[in-house]
Structure 1
Amino acid sequence: MNLYKLSLHEVNKAFEKLGCDKPGTKILAKKCDVHTIYIKNLHVGAANILKQDALSIGADLAVPMGVIVAREPYVDAILIANSKQLEVLSVKERAQPFGLKAIAKELKSFLFTKQAPTKIMGIINANEDSFFKDSRFNGSNAVKRMEKLIHDGAQIIDLGAVSSRPGSVAVSAQEELSRIKPILDTIKIEKLYEKATFSLDSYAPDVLKYAMDCGFSIINDITGLANNEVAKVAAQYDATVVIMHMQNDPRNMQDDPHYEDVISEVHDFFQERIEKAHSFGVKKIILDVGIGFGKTLEHNLKLLKNHEHFRYFGYELLIGASRKSMIDKIVPSDISERLPGTLAIHLEAIKNGASIVRCHDVKEHHQAIKVQEAIQSNL
């Protein structure tokens, strides 16, 4: 007799090898996928009901001492359940009082669909003050670089002309456009948008319009649709919008950033901006937690550890930590030495729900991601 533990990635293949039928395999796989969900400000009556309902189906709810005698009117709790049990609870709690009907709807949102295939977004900067000098290009050099990034494995090219590094100051829309207009014109003339998807890292409406007319289809907005005019442009061109979270702005975002609960606050920000996007008719959305944008190392690490949570909204997640200073805070290193740390962060983010990786080093990421996919595949 021999026993060994299966990874979640191997269970479907193992069930198939056993000879289980397909409907049975689907049910069994849901039982293997365990969720741990933190619930804040739960009515004590709801906590007692949810605890009993969870236990009745083999799940559990961790609650503070004193809940059974209603010592406090509202409490926090942690639900531990597999996907099958979440399905049951999301139905069962609809008929219960104390706000459990709303909880039931929330629980259903954690039954994530299959993660989208990983895509690499290569970075091109058309400004002289971007934080990583090796990503700076202009004119014909920028186009050659784009073609190389596409050859190396980038499905998306993200072009920017304004630095967003800590302490940077924004420039006028006229200056921004003057920096990238020759590149945009070349992309349009040579129809490079037929070889890859093009994204503009900007929040200037007129610049974005020009890019959309040149074949761009993604708006990478570090302000997260703060400007209504950007939302209007996105809707007009049926563009995809990357909604990124940032506390304050690049000038002061790293001046002692503070959160009561970074996961909850980023969640609330996404909730608000998604609703705003929908109100303007924006349908295609990507979410970016904004690693390094108004966050300490602790905040960044917590967001990475809990990255899968943000799949709750049903949109693809982008991760962008390429060569950022959080790596230096873990292992002292110059920006030119941060590729290994970047790969570690991005591969972990992919495991935790990210499907778009924004990076400077496309070829290295392509290799690392393909190896990771081979390890996790059912081959």
Structure 2
Amino acid sequence: MVVEVLSNELNIKNYLKLLGVDGGGVNILAAKAEMHLVAIKDLHVGGANILKQDALSVGADLAVPKGTVIAAQKRVNALLIATTKELEILARKELAQPFGLKELALKLKKIAKVKKPKECEIMGVINANDDSFFSGSRFLERDAVVMIEQMIEEGADIIDIGAVSSRPNAAIVSATEELERITPILELIKEKNIAQNVRLSIDSYEPLVIQKALDAGFTIVNDITGLENDAVCELCASYEATAVIMHMQGTPQTMQNSPAYNSVLDDVYSFFSERIEKAEHFGIKDIVLDVGIGFGKSLEDNISLIKNLEHFLTLEKKLLVGASRKSMIDKIFPSSVEQRLSGTLALHLEAFRNGAAMLRVHDVYAHKQALEVQKALL
């Protein structure tokens, strides 16, 4: 007899199929192998005691503060530890319970259904301005088209083009000037039919610029204001464009002035919920969510968002992460912008593992290679 200790990252379904487990058994056993940690805040102590007993009865557990069993506090925070199968059973049990457990049951049901993406799209970055934080992404007119073609060869699924820097304390640029910067590139893209070879994304929140890009064959609107402007919503809907809703606290000019949250996960989740509702009200059908790494976030906020991306998968939208060469890397390991590729890859591979389906990057080839190796490991 040989005993092997296997990684928690094991592709359990593939392994069970190799063992010869029948089809129905594969799904049942796989659900028992997937572990979830669910933080529950401000739970009525009566609900906590009911949930604790119900969790234990199905093989799960609920971590609660001391004194919960005697109701020492009226409301408590708790941590539910359960497999996917146990979450499914608990969700059914709690539907008939008081103290807000019915609402919790609906949330648990959603969590149990979450599936992390198995593929990750690469969005290459082109900046048609001279003040973006990474000089290696700055290109003008024909140079930009050459770089777009190179990124396509290297494996980019999407090219994201913008003409205004959104780095901290960036200069404010008028819509007219932004349009003047980007128009030569848009005309070349249209002339060369580049939209036939790759999906194009416009990094802007100005309706004037967005419409020009959509007319040139762009199909994605990457809006750092998260669809704040109704006119942008109307354009996305009328052109049937994908809308990337990004979270940002403040503006590029103010966002890093002591950013603070009650809970960065909860606050960003609430923002997304509101903006998804707005987008769908306008008739936008395809939505991607970007947690906004570095946009009004501390280092701890950024790390928390990347590590806990699964929290946002219950919104049932693709998640985008863009940490490419950002200053959070320098705060972990001192480095110049040019030295941050290794740190970028570490952050982005972790983001993919935790639920990102799209990465916004400056270095397409390095990410294509890293993602293929990561997928082989997983």
TM > 0.5 fold call: yes
Q: Which moved more, 1:98-107 or 1:2-11?
A: 2-11
**Deviation string, structure 1 residues 148-183 (Cα, Å, up to 9, x no partner):** 000000010000000000001221111111111111
- Give ranges in structure 2 of 5+ residues lacking alignment: none
Q: Which moved more, 1:213-222 or 1:180-189?
A: 180-189
> What CA distance in whole angstroms lies between the structure 1 residues aligned with 2:310 and 2:252?
26
SS in 2 for 1:344: helix
Partner residue, 2:255: 253
Q: 2:172 is matched by which residue type in structure 1?
A: A
Q: 1:333 aligns with which of 328, 335, 346?
A: 335
SS in 2 for 1:38: strand
2:372 is the counterpart of 1:370: yes
> What CA distance in whole angstroms lies between the structure 2 residues aligned with 1:99 and 1:147?
54
2:19 is the counterpart of 1:18: yes
Q: Shift in Å at residue 115 of structure 1? A: 1.3
Identity %: 55
> What CA distance in whole angstroms lies between the structure 2 residues aligned with 1:141 and 1:264?
42
Partner residue, 2:168: 166
Q: 1:76 is matched by which residue type in structure 2?
A: N
Q: Shift in Å at residue 116 of structure 1? A: 5.0
Partner residue, 1:46: 47
Q: Give yes or no for contact 1:43–1:98 (8 Å, CA) kept in 2.
A: yes
Q: 2:291 aligns with which of 282, 289, 292?
A: 289
Q: Which moved more, 1:153-162 or 1:102-111?
A: 102-111
> What CA distance in whole angstroms lies between the structure 2 residues aligned with 1:107 and 1:170?
44
> What CA distance in whole angstroms lies between the structure 1 residues aligned with 2:162 and 2:15?
46
SS in 1 for 2:133: coil
SS in 2 for 1:171: coil
> What CA distance in whole angstroms lies between the structure 1 residues aligned with 2:15 and 2:206?
52
Structure 1 segments of 4+ aligned residues over 6 angstroms from their partners: none
TM-score normalized by structure 1? 0.97
Partner residue, 1:3: 3
> What CA distance in whole angstroms lies between the structure 2 residues aligned with 1:169 and 1:90?
50
Partner residue, 2:158: 156
Partner residue, 1:36: 37
2:244 is the counterpart of 1:227: no
> What CA distance in whole angstroms lies between the structure 2 residues aligned with 1:212 and 1:251?
27
Matches within 5 A, 1:176-325: 176-325=178-327
Partner residue, 1:81: 82
Query: RMSD of the TM alignment (CA)?
Result: 1.2
User: Size of the alignment, in residue pairs?
Assistant: 376
Partner residue, 2:101: 100
Q: Give yes or no for contact 1:219–1:234 (8 Å, CA) kept in 2.
A: yes
Q: 2:300 is matched by which residue type in structure 1?
A: E
> What CA distance in whole angstroms lies between the structure 2 residues aligned with 1:38 and 1:98?
17
Q: Give yes or no for contact 2:116–2:354 (8 Å, CA) kept in 1.
A: no
SS in 2 for 1:84: helix
> What CA distance in whole angstroms lies between the structure 2 residues aligned with 1:283 and 1:41?
34
- Give ranges in structure 1 of 5+ residues lacking alignment: none
Q: Shift in Å at residue 95 of structure 1? A: 1.4
Q: Give yes or no for contact 1:120–1:366 (8 Å, CA) kept in 2.
A: yes
Q: Shift in Å at residue 264 of structure 1? A: 1.3
Q: Give yes or no for contact 2:95–2:101 (8 Å, CA) kept in 1.
A: yes
Q: Shift in Å at residue 374 of structure 1? A: 1.3
**Deviation string, structure 1 residues 323-372 (Cα, Å, up to 9, x no partner):** 11111111111111111111111111111111111100101111111111
TM-score normalized by structure 2? 0.97
Q: Give yes or no for contact 2:179–2:209 (8 Å, CA) kept in 1.
A: yes
> What CA distance in whole angstroms lies between the structure 2 residues aligned with 1:36 and 1:174?
49
Q: Give yes or no for contact 1:66–1:72 (8 Å, CA) kept in 2.
A: yes
